[in-house]
Amino acid sequence: MAEDSDVRGASLGDRLAVEAAARIGEGFAAYADEFASITKRSKWRFQTSDWKGRHEDALERLDLYEKVLREVATAITGLLGDRSRDEALWASVKERFTRSIRGHHDAELAETFFNSVTRRIFSTVGINRRIEFFRWYPRDAGAAAGEPVFHRYEGGRDTRQLIRDVLKDNKFTVPYEDPERDADLVGGEIDLYLWPLLAQTGEYRIEVIRSPFYRNKVAYLVGRIIAAGRVIPLVLPLYHGDAGVFVDTVLLAEVEVSKVFSFAFSYFHVLVERHDLLIEFLRSILPEKPLAELYISIGYNRHGKTEFYRDLHRFVHRSRERFIIAPGKEGAVMTVFTLPDYSYVFKVIKDRPCFLRSAAMTDKTSTRREVMDQYALVCRRDRVGRLVDTQEFENLRFRRERFDQQLLAELRQAAREVVSIDDDHVVIRHLYVQRRVTPLPMFMAEERDPEALRRTILDFGYFLKDLAATGIFPSDLFNTWNYGVTRRGRVVLFDYDDVIPIEQASFSRKPRTYDESEELAPEEDRIVATANDFFIDEMRSYSGLPQRLKGVFEIVHGDLFTVEFWRSVKEQVSAGELVDITPYDRAMKFRRA
């Protein structure tokens, strides 16, 4: 009788494992299909200049993963009932799921989805390899089944004709404004760039991804040139103007293409069947770009987190570095830490705003929920290359020995609600991860090249204008410790607890005094203002820039100190106007007249 019961139990367990694996597979397939369906709309949005619809698609796709994950986790919990947290059963589910995705090109993404389901149900701390997929390195892309993800154009003939062919293969329902002109402009630049490489041989080829990369108001044709044993990036930004589609410029340098794929921009919409081969292609033209950032750039941000976690594990095991407090000024809201030679920082929200490394006081009263809402706000805005991408992690576990004592002391004191420390491990229940940048004040203090300083100071002004145009206003506008400089010299915002929608801000001039009694009265007695009231005429005094650098800044960006500028931008944003910020040097734009 007991044996029969065991058999029946095992049989039931097998059936549950098969059904659970199938449902997770169906959920992933539904996610992949809907992801592709939303992405497919991008071409129509571009052709019809439906920029509002394009933004709505971006938000819908951003929410898709969590929506499907929630549905699948709920269904699996209902299916398994009181065995929903049975590890032995889940080990069997994992085995069945592994069989079902074997040989699939999207197996990596499917494994990430499976892990998301188990972590949602188990609230896993650290990694549970029995019920999660984990490997040190990603799978190889393997041989392509069917057509490659790119078109190939053999050289040895007129480069201009090759570009004509590229444009013909990327047609829209609206015509090109002047394809002959664009082919001449692009072809001429390519010929000039290749001249030193092709002195001995004229052989080369061009390969271009079959689908444009859509973002904001631009469709980017992304490709590469294979010449003299080198791989050269090739990017053509296409705009839809009043007279049709036109090529704005050609990008051939890795540094410029890297800016287009920057971690501070929103995600691309690009429709390909083999994402793994697309990533392989992108790695060939952006070899210094982390794999995680490439996945995130094309919208697979959850799998990007998987690749980041792999990279972190490899780094921690290769090096003996300890986590330390990140260089820079202490923030009232976050404890920020890093590894000395690592490219990312980790941000933990303090239990309540405070300073621990100085006697400074803060008037901030933000709760954890309010800070998280601010970060969510930024995530859903168009980041236009000015807002550092932020990935959210839960229930991470590290060895305590890898933490500097000063950092441990600060985490104990400031973040007890989300950080647990025992004799062996540090468990962090919630943190943000961002790419590491140099805080703007540190850059200005350390940089010795006057031209580099000039470029950064001027870019700081363009940064504030770009940010405003997207509808984001940092209420602590000229606290320059909230801003950083990327390794490509671009100014970005990385601290989001002070941002508000610009529509909520009120811009005016500070009220004047009219008699001696008003002049002697404390400002708080004669001026009525809310937290969202900003006196623009005071900004010049509190710009955060060193006095000797203000002159260069104000020559170009003096309008930032006027009420008219801020009110005008607020009106544009309130009216729903969508801007497109050029990720490359404006001087590179073709003269089309």
pLDDT of 454-513, one tens digit each? 999 999 999 999 989 888 888 877 788 899 999 888 899 999 888 888 888 888 877 665
Examine the pLDDT at 426 and tell me if it is beyond 90: yes
Q: What DSSP string describes 321-342? A: --BEEPSSPPPSSEEEEE-TT-
Rounded Cα distance between 368 and 419, Å, is 14
Q: Which residue has the tokens 């594990």?
A: 313
Examine the pLDDT at 360 and tell me if it is beyond 50: yes
pLDDT, residue 407, reads 97
Q: How confident is the model at residue 150 (pLDDT cuts 50, 70, 90)?
A: very high
| Beta bridge pairs of residue 427 | 397, 420
Q: Which long-range contacts (CB under 8 A, 24 or more apart) does 401-404 make?
A: 402/316, 402/321, 402/322, 402/323, 403/322, 403/323, 404/322, 404/323, 404/324, 404/325
pLDDT, residue 265, reads 82
Q: Which two tokens stand for residue 484?
A: 């950083």
| Beta bridge pairs of residue 419 | 428
Domain co-membership, 511 together with 450:
yes
Examine the pLDDT at 4 and tell me if it is beyond 80: no
Residues marked as catalytic: 389
**pLDDT, mean of residues 178-186:** 96
At 224, the amino acid letter reads R
Phi-psi region of 385 (alpha: psi -120 to 50; beta: other; left: phi over 0): left
pLDDT, residue 529, reads 56
Candidates 217, 221, 288; CA nearest to 250 is 221
Please provide the average confidence, as pLDDT, over all residues in the chain. 89
pLDDT, residue 434, reads 94
**pLDDT, mean of residues 277-292:** 94
Candidates 317, 368, 354, 322; CA nearest to 341 is 322
Examine the pLDDT at 320 and tell me if it is beyond 80: yes
Domain co-membership, 347 together with 445:
no
Tens of pLDDT, residue by residue over 368-383, are 999 999 888 888 776 7
pLDDT, residue 41, reads 97
Q: For residue 145, is it within any domain? A: no
Examine the pLDDT at 337 and tell me if it is beyond 60: yes
pLDDT, residue 131, reads 94
pLDDT, residue 376, reads 87
DSSP-derived pairing of the beta strands 396-399 and 472-474:
unpaired
| Boundary residue ending a domain (436, 454, 489) | 436
Domain co-membership, 298 together with 380:
no
pLDDT, residue 7, reads 37
Q: For residue 216, is it within any domain? A: yes
**pLDDT, mean of residues 406-412:** 97
Q: For residue 133, is it within any domain? A: no
Q: For residue 188, is it within any domain? A: yes
Cβ pair 455, 462 in contact under 8 A = no
In which domain, by residue range, is 85 found? 9-122
Domain co-membership, 370 together with 430:
yes
- Top pLDDT among 450 and 531 is at 450
Q: For residue 132, is it within any domain? A: no
pLDDT, residue 505, reads 87
- Top pLDDT among 532 and 22 is at 22
Domain co-membership, 46 together with 87:
yes
| Boundary residue ending a domain (281, 316, 351) | 316
Domain co-membership, 405 together with 443:
no
Of 178-187, 193-202, 549-558, least confident by mean pLDDT is: 193-202
Examine the pLDDT at 23 and tell me if it is beyond 50: yes
Domain co-membership, 277 together with 287:
yes
**pLDDT, mean of residues 195-216:** 88
Helices (H), 222-321: 254-260, 275-285, 291-297, 301-318
| Boundary residue ending a domain (298, 316, 334) | 316
Of 153-157, 230-234, 393-397, least confident by mean pLDDT is: 153-157
Cβ pair 381, 387 in contact under 8 A = yes
Examine the pLDDT at 91 and tell me if it is beyond 90: yes
**pLDDT, mean of residues 358-372:** 90
Number of separate domains in the chain: 4
Domain co-membership, 460 together with 496:
yes
Q: How confident is the model at residue 592 (pLDDT cuts 50, 70, 90)?
A: confident
Cβ partners under 8 Å of residue 432, min gap 6: 346, 347, 375, 390, 391, 392, 393
Domain co-membership, 240 together with 356:
no
Of 109-118, 215-224, 346-355, 566-575, least confident by mean pLDDT is: 566-575
**N-term to C-term CA, the chain:** 90
Examine the pLDDT at 515 and tell me if it is beyond 80: no
Q: For residue 143, is it within any domain? A: no
DSSP-derived pairing of the beta strands 344-349 and 431-435:
antiparallel
Domain co-membership, 493 together with 557:
yes
Domain co-membership, 373 together with 465:
no
Domain co-membership, 275 together with 324:
no
- Top pLDDT among 371 and 142 is at 371
Examine the pLDDT at 19 and tell me if it is beyond 90: yes
pLDDT, residue 276, reads 92
pLDDT, residue 378, reads 81
Q: What percent of the chain has pLDDT over 90?
A: 65
Q: For residue 2, is it within any domain? A: no
Using only C-alpha atoms, the chain has a radius of gyration, in whole angstroms, of 27
**pLDDT, mean of residues 49-72:** 94
Q: For residue 490, is it within any domain? A: yes
